[in-house]
């Protein structure tokens, strides 16, 4: 488990309503530099909404999100987009790879959008596919890969720019147990090797066990510190 407890990302009093449904009701959480944090809870507890607020994908109705010295909930969209390109990586349950692109080009895409040349971007992308054990699938398109292979490609795409934080929303939710274990082993190993912070959304205790720490989200809020927080020794 990481010994650096400096908060890198902090949320306080988050409230978010979708139509008649209040998804978040004063939720708060801290993510330390280099930490893997699992946010658990049943379906409908607000886990994905919390991740979207923390990643700057949606703005909370109330509360604040701080990343370093910046208030994410007050930043203009251009700055949020820049952060998502350079310092944040996001992995969704179904990967959301671009179906028309090969695995190699999917991973290279964030680098191309950041202005990297095509040859250099593809070379770096190939290295990341190698790290996740799917370089042999580099010329395949998403529909030609297994679910586990596609999700490892999605992880490589999220990490290729060298982000400080990876947001993983149910990254094994669409996989069988073996593929899920392979994906989580690869993510946890790479994150700890490179010092990336990971905010992991899951309802699966086996997935949460890969984290350094776990908090439970219930009915849109997190219980008071110590009431339902588990530190997992590594």
How confident is the model over 173-217, as pLDDT tens digits?
888 888 889 889 989 999 999 999 999 999 899 999 999 999 999
The pLDDT value given to residue 139:
96
In a domain, 100, yes or no: no
In a domain, 105, yes or no: no
Between CA 56 and CA 175 the distance in angstroms is 27
In a domain, 186, yes or no: no
Query: What Rg, from alpha-carbon coordinates, does the chain have?
Result: 17
Secondary structure (3-state) at 135: helix
Contact 197, 55 (CB under 8 A): no
Query: What does the pLDDT look like over 5-26, one tens digit per residue?
Result: 568 999 999 999 988 889 999 9
Domain that holds residue 40: 1-87+199-234
The pLDDT value given to residue 222:
83
In a domain, 38, yes or no: yes
The pLDDT value given to residue 95:
65
CA angle 128, 131, 136 (to 5 degrees): 80
Residues in the chain predicted with pLDDT less than 70, given as ranges, are 1-6, 95, 223-234
Which residue in this structure is represented by tokens 């490892």? Answer: 152
The pLDDT value given to residue 45:
84
- The CATH number covering residue 9 comes to 3.40.50.300
Contact 87, 164 (CB under 8 A): yes
The pLDDT value given to residue 179:
86
In a domain, 96, yes or no: no
Contact 31, 165 (CB under 8 A): yes
Number of folded domains in the chain?
1
In a domain, 185, yes or no: no
In a domain, 63, yes or no: yes
In a domain, 194, yes or no: no
């Amino acid at each position: 488990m990481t010994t650096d407890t400096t908060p890198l990302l902090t949320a306080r009093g988050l409230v978010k309503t979708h139509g008649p449904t209040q998804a978040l009701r004063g939720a708060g959480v801290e993510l330390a530099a280099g930490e893997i944090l699992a946010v658990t809870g049943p379906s409908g507890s607000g886990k994905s909404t919390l991740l979207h607020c923390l990643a700057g994908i949606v703005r909370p109705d109330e509360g604040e999100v701080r990343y370093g010295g910046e208030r994410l909930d007050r930043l203009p969209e251009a700055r949020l987009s820049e952060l998502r390109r350079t310092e944040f990586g996001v992995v969704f349950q179904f990967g959301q790879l671009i179906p028309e692109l090969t695995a190699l080009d999917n991973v290279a895409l964030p680098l191309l959008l950041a202005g990297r040349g095509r040859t250099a971007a593809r070379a770096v992308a190939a290295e990341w596919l190698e790290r996740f054990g799917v370089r042999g699938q580099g010329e395949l398109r998403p529909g030609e890969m297994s679910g586990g292979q596609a999700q490892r490609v999605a992880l490589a795409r999220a990490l290729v720019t060298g982000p400080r934080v990876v947001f993983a929303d149910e990254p094994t939710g669409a996989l069988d147990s073996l593929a899920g274990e392979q994906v989580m082993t690869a993510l946890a190993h790479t994150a700890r090797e490179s010092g990336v912070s990971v905010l992991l959304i899951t309802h699966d205790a086996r997935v949460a066990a890969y984290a350094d720490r776990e908090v439970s989200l219930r009915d849109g809020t997190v219980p008071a510190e110590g009431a339902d927080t588990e530190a997992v020794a590594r």
